[in-house]
Structure 1
Amino acid sequence: MTTPNSTLRAVRMGLLMSQDEFARAIRDAGQRTGHPNDASKRLVQRWESGATAAPRPVYARALEMVTGMPIDTLGFTLPAALARVSDDGHGGHDLEDSPVGVPASAGAPAAQAAPARGNYTGVWLSTYEYFSSGRGETFTGKHYVVLLQHGNQLTARSLPNASLNPDSPLTLDLQLDGNTVTGTWTEQTASDGYYRGARYFGALQMLVEPTGRRMAGKWVGFGKEFDVNTGPWELRLMDASTSKATLEAYSRTPE
């Protein structure tokens, strides 16, 4: 008997991606990091159905980049390190020839360990300010986000129920160059909120403090009146752990 991976399916649907689109995003992530993979719709189906109990490390890295979540929180029943790989790290199968819950045969090549976490991986408090022309006031947006580092790529996704404005998920896709962080942000506002489900996006640039525990800078985005707005944005490290218990602890509204 196999147990469907409802967690991964929910994450994919939360990203508004079909299985084809999800597979394409995983392939693209592999290309960007120099670790190409052959993700397909069939492979995504096997993950979600539970037929494949764990992704190989080359897929685990890409899954983390695409979802912004640690691999051990994506509902797989086996650690990625148990997945069978070829000597070059690209061939082999995702345990497709082994029963679910049973590692590949002893004669298979040794499993590769998952990549080490980057220095900035952890749970961060994201805080930004914006001026609402419709209300004539300045407001603050806060989210607890889980940030993952792969080389010089940083991806951050807000945790469930972890924003001042409910149902307003935030995504950051950033690149690290020395102590400079540059990239994009996207926020999907709540359908029943003031902005009625509007999707906002823009650019972001921050500087990392020498302690590595705070990033601060400015965001840029488009307003409703065809103007360009800007404001301060800060990320502050709350916990370097990305364990399931830590993520659950921060899945709450920031103070």
Structure 2
Amino acid sequence: MAAPNLALRAVRTRMRLSQDDFARALQAAGHRAGEPNDANKRLVQRWESGMTAAPRPVYARALEVVTGLPITLLGFATSPDGDAVDDQHGGDGVTSPMSDLATPTPRSAAAHGSHEGVWLSRYQYHSSSRGESFAGQHFVVVLQHGDRLTVRSLPGSAASSLSLDLSVDGAVVTGTWVEQTDPAGHYRGARYHGAIQLLVEPTGRRMAGKWVGFGKDMDVNTGPWELTFQDASTSKATLDRYNTPPG
């Protein structure tokens, strides 16, 4: 009997999504990427029960976009080279829990023109209610599919959660950001969002630019934002190492 995929189930429940909601999010991600998929509740149930060892590539890419995690950290079976098994070619098997996942081979961001890996995100903003300027810092995981970047903060790196959805055009990175603030903090769990544009330095190890967003008085605010490269690996061991507040 196949072992249930506890890792995927834990990620979905942490996102507070039902299996139906999760399937709809996968469909929406595929639509945005120009790769339509037929995700439904039954498919999510098959993954979580372990009846299907790993998703087909079109679903794997959607899963990474929706969860912000590498497919190898979502409890799916892996091949010896660290790639997720394609369920079109030898599908149903045993799903490993996250603690037993094989570590994927680290990829060099510079060598392959990829921005994947762990980055330090830092932005500055002025708090009108406190009359001071502050900096927000998170360690984030960047995943890349073609010219699209999915950026999600590691939960232990800050009390707030951060997500960015970006597109790359040469050295220009453009997209949107969303931050869910700390429920126990000054902003009492308020959700803020806006746009962002960054320029990638020639080294490929730093992106810097500006964010724009609405304040509580419906005024348009802006400020600096930068991402600094930390590690090309997205293995569980690496993410565990960075799942802590930046120094």
8 Å CA contact 2:72–2:84 kept in 1: the answer is: no
Percentage of pairs with the same residue? 64
Tell whether 2:123 aligns with 1:120: no
Matched-pair contact (CA < 8 Å) for 1:146–1:156: yes
Which residue of the other structure, out of 192, 197, 201, is the alignment partner of 2:193? 201
Deviation beyond 6 Å, 4+ runs, structure 1: none
* Shift in CA distance, 84/49, structure 1 to aligned 2, threshold 3 Å: closer
Structure 1: distance between partners of 2:32 and 2:113: 17
- Give the deviation of 1:118 after TM superposition: 6.0
Q: Give yes or no for contact 1:118–1:148 (8 Å, CA) kept in 2.
A: no
Query: Given that residues 196 and 210 in structure 2 are in contact (C-alpha distance below 8 angstroms), is that contact kept between their aligned partners in structure 1?
Result: yes
Q: In structure 2, which of residues 210, 221, 224 is the aligned counterpart of residue 232 of structure 1? A: 224
Structure 2 residue 179 is matched with structure 1 residue 219: no
Residues 1:180 and 2:172 are matched in the alignment: yes
Equivalent in the alignment of 2:3: 3
2:114 alignment partner AA: N
Contact 2:198 2:210 in 1 (8 A): yes
Task: Give the aligned residue type for 2:16.
Answer: L
Report the residue type matching 2:130 in the other structure.
R
Distance in 1 (alpha carbons) for counterparts of 2:223 and 2:202: 23
**Whole-Å separation in 1 of the counterparts to 2:128 and 2:87:** 55
Preserved contact between residue 145 and residue 156 of structure 1 (Cα < 8 Å): yes
Aligned to 2:104: none
Aligned partners of 2:123 and 2:198: how far apart in 1? Answer: 12
Tell me the alpha carbon deviations over residues 217-249 of structure 1, each in whole angstroms, 9 at most, x when there is no partner. 111111111211111000000001111111111
With structure 2 as the length reference, what TM-score do the two structures score? 0.86
The answer for unaligned runs of 5 or more in structure 2 is: 96-106
**Which residue is equivalent to 2:71?**
71
**8 Å Cα contact 2:2-2:93 kept in structure 1:** no
Q: Go from structure 1 to structure 2 and tell me whether the alpha carbon gap of 1:65 and 1:14 turns closer, same or farther (over 3 Å shift).
A: same
Letter in 2 for 1:207: L
Q: C-alpha offsets along residues 23-57 of structure 1, whole Å, 9 cap, x if unaligned?
A: 12212322333433221111111212222222122
Change in Cα spacing, 1:47 to 1:192, as seen in structure 2 (3 Å) is: same
Q: What amino acid is the match of 2:144? A: Q
Provide closer, same or farther for how the CA distance between residues 75 and 118 of structure 1 changes in structure 2, counting only shifts above 3 A: farther
Query: Which residue pairs with 1:134 in the alignment?
Result: 129
Return the alpha-carbon distance in structure 1 between the equivalents of residues 192 and 26 of structure 2.
24
Match of 2:28, SS?
helix
Aligned residues: 229
Residue 103 of structure 2 is matched in structure 1 by none
Residue 87 of structure 2 is matched in structure 1 by 84
State the shift of 1:153 in Å. Answer: 0.5
RMSD: 2.0
Residues 71-80 or 39-48, more deviating: 71-80
* Partner Cα separation in structure 2 for residue 175 and residue 242 of structure 1: 20
Say if 1:244 and 1:173 are closer, same or farther in 2 by CA, change over 3 A. same
1:89 is matched with none
Q: TM-score, normalised by structure 1?
A: 0.83
- 3-state SS in 1 of match to 2:183: coil
1:108 paired residue number: none
Tell me the residue number matched to 1:100.
94
Kept in 1: contact 2:77–2:84 (CA 8 A): no
